[in-house]
Amino acid sequence: MLEELKTFIAVVEYKNFTKASEKVNLSQPSVSVHVKNLEKHFNTQLIVRSVRQKNITITEKGYLLYRRAKEMIALLETTELEMQHLSSTVKGHLRIGATYTIGECILPYFLKSFCEKYPDIEIEVLINNTATIRQKVQELQLDIGLIEGLGYTGDFEQVYFLEDELVIVTNKEEQIGREPFSIESLQNQRWVTREEGSGLREYLDMFLAHNQIVPKAKLILGSNYAIKEAVKNGLGIAMVSVYIAKEANLMDEIHIIKLDEPYKRNFSYILPNGLAPSNVTKVFREALDDFALYVK
């Protein structure tokens, strides 16, 4: 049944029999047989097949089996490594999701030392906004997600690992960057920010609401680099992570306005709730915790 479960996992993740067959190196009819065998064994429908639309839909029980199958295989892989005493030469595949600030400013430095220590771990990284990373972790398309949004109790196992400070950045010629700072100077400004669903946008909206700041307009851009370039070219002001602002400020591209009271948030990693992490995921999170202690 182990091979059938592996086949079923591929079918759920690709939602396509042809792509699943390529993943597990089986013919498409063999993939269909594996799924039917599982449905017969559990006496339930796992997949709804649409002949007209040529697609498949996973049933609620199908997703339950998928989660349990992932857990069983992860446990088996961990057990095999422990039995073979391979803790010093960890091998496997790790799918990491990271939000833009973490993926662009934190993760590259961490992965340099991590990959040197664990050269046999194959790593795949997806960089996107917080909402997308959360969804893909929940759907088990990612093993671990590194996010910058607020807490999500119940949906995931969530651990805070690093503190971040948010600062206001302006163009070098912007008048409010030259004057003594006051919250009132932020009124009626064009704000350059990220789209709905990003952690940065979530915190900016809270900041504006808390301080009763009404923007003149908002310019929505899809990356931290685009925001920095827009501010540099006088298209508005922005709130960004200090990790992004520091480098741009050193290059004399922008001006940093520090708030009277530091506006801070936490970076965290999330894992699927109720699912035993694989050995490589355990190694990654332990190394990330150690890295965060060093950075602090």
34-81: per-residue pLDDT in tens?
899 898 898 999 998 876 656 788 999 999 999 889 888 888 877 776
Q: What CATH architecture applies to the domain 92-158+273-295?
A: 3-Layer(aba) Sandwich (3.40)
**CA 191 to CA 87: how far, in whole Å?**
49
Q: Taking 70 as the threshold, does the pLDDT of residue 207 lie above it? A: yes
- Would you say domain 2-69 falls under CATH 2.40.70.10? no
Q: Taking 50 as the threshold, does the pLDDT of residue 215 lie above it? A: yes
Q: What does the pLDDT read at residue 178?
A: 65
Q: What does the pLDDT read at residue 54?
A: 66
Q: Taking 70 as the threshold, does the pLDDT of residue 118 lie above it? A: yes
pTM over 0.85: no
Q: What does the pLDDT read at residue 56?
A: 85
Q: Taking 90 as the threshold, does the pLDDT of residue 226 lie above it? A: yes
Q: What does the pLDDT read at residue 86?
A: 47
Residue 7 CA neighbour count, 13 Å, CB half: 24
Q: How far is CA 158 from the centre of its chain?
A: 12
DSSP secondary structure, 94-149, as one string: EEEEE-HHIIIIIHHHHHHHHHHH-TTEEEEEEE--HHHHHHHHHTTS-SEEEE-S
Q: What does the pLDDT read at residue 120?
A: 87
Domain with CATH 1.10.10.10 in the chain: 2-69
Mean pLDDT is highest, among 33-47, 80-94, 175-189, for 33-47
CATH topology of domain 163-265: D-Maltodextrin-Binding Protein; domain 2 (3.40.190)
Domain with CATH 3.40.190.290 in the chain: 163-265
* Predicted confidence band of residue 173 (pLDDT cuts 50, 70, 90): confident
At what angle are helices 2-14 and 28-42 packed, to 10 degrees? 110
Q: Taking 60 as the threshold, does the pLDDT of residue 289 lie above it? A: yes
Q: Taking 80 as the threshold, does the pLDDT of residue 192 lie above it? A: yes
pLDDT digits (tens, 9 = 90+) for 242-285: 999 988 888 888 999 878 888 999 899 999 887 878 888 999 99
Domain with CATH 3.40.190.10 in the chain: 92-158+273-295
